Amino acid sequence: MIDFYSQIFKRKSFHQFKDTDKLSEEELTKLREFIAAVTPLDPSIRTKTIIVPESETTCESGAQYCILFYSEKKGEYLRNIGYIGQQIDLYLASQNIGALWFGIGMPEERELDGLEYVIMIAIAKVPESAFRKDMFKAKRKPLEEIWHGDTLGVAEIARFAPSACNSQPWITENTGDELTVYRYKEPGQKGIMPALLTGYYNRIDIGIYLFILETCLKHEGYTFERTLFEDDDTEKALTAKYRYKKEK
């Protein structure tokens, strides 16, 4: 079983792959088995995840393969893909497989079994020494900007969840026995991401964040009941509520 929590500290985004090795057939088989066993955020949404050579995509990062995510366009399908993909991202780190969420890439197959292409993760085998040494050196928003109330010993780590262009589009509020998570859309264009694509990728990001948040809650000994909400596309869109309690 993968210790997802420990991999949060190790994982990093490989914008260019160097000094890579080839994934063995055994590693690919294990990866496919893991992908088949991931837990979706919304099981009612049909998805499919496949692995193809990088050459069958527009990605040119030096990766060996790309993991392609397809989904039916239903409900919060982007959030669901983010939640699924982050499990895979952390698994890859545990196997010393470098990864890059590649938002602008396109595969040869834009549709698969009636499902639409959503996003890809480029991957390559890299030395363990290439992974992150000190996560706390990574640039992130100040904690008080994205978390209000008692941090539970959770916020300090959950804030390092990856996001498109490091936009970190989330705010979590702790009322004492419940966490309320919002997808926060900052006014105006931020960074290099085109304004029209911000909402698309930030919806994937919030799914990534929810998985990291839940992983941190479990690590700190909290049980929780999760309620999900439909994104209303407002500046501060309600995403989820977690009714939590500390295990004795």
CA distances from 40 to 95, 143, 150 (A): 21, 28, 28
How many whole angstroms separate alpha carbon 116 and alpha carbon 70? 5
Position 196 confidence tier, pLDDT thresholds 50, 70, 90: confident
State how far the Cα of 143 lies from the Cα of 195, in Å rounded to an integer: 25
CB-CB contact of 110 with 117 (8 Å)? yes
pLDDT in tens, 16-63: 998 899 999 999 999 999 999 999 999 999 999 999 999 999 999 999
Q: If you average pLDDT over every residue of the chain, what do you get?
A: 94
Model confidence at 188: pLDDT above 90: no
Angle between helices 77-94 and 195-219 (to 10 degrees): 60
Helix and strand counts by DSSP (H, E) for the chain: 6, 10
CA distance 186 to 189: 8
- The answer to whether domain 4-130 and domain 139-246 are alike in fold is yes
Task: State how far the Cα of 107 lies from the Cα of 38, in Å rounded to an integer.
Answer: 22
* Predicted pLDDT at 173: 98
Query: How are beta strands 111-112 and 97-102 bridged, if at all?
Result: unpaired
- 193 pLDDT tier (thresholds 50, 70, 90): low
User: pLDDT tens digit string along 73-108?
Assistant: 999 999 999 999 999 999 999 999 999 999 989 999
Q: Please name the residue that has the structure tokens 């545990």.
A: 94
State the average pLDDT over residues 187-214: 84
**Do residues 172 and 212 make contact, with C-beta atoms less than 8 angstroms apart?**
no
Supply the pTM of this predicted model: 0.96
For residues 165-183, average pLDDT: 95
Q: Where are the domains of the chain?
A: 4-130, 139-246
CATH 3.30.1490.190 fits 139-246, yes or no: no
The answer to whether residue 113 scores a pLDDT higher than 70 is yes
Domain 4-130 top-level CATH class: alpha beta
Question: CA 215 to CA 57: how far, in whole Å?
Answer: 32
Distances (CA, A) of 15 to 78, 98, 171, 178: 22, 10, 27, 37
Q: How large is the average pLDDT for residues 167-179? A: 96
**Distance from C-alpha of 143 to C-alpha of 155, rounded to nearest angstrom:** 8
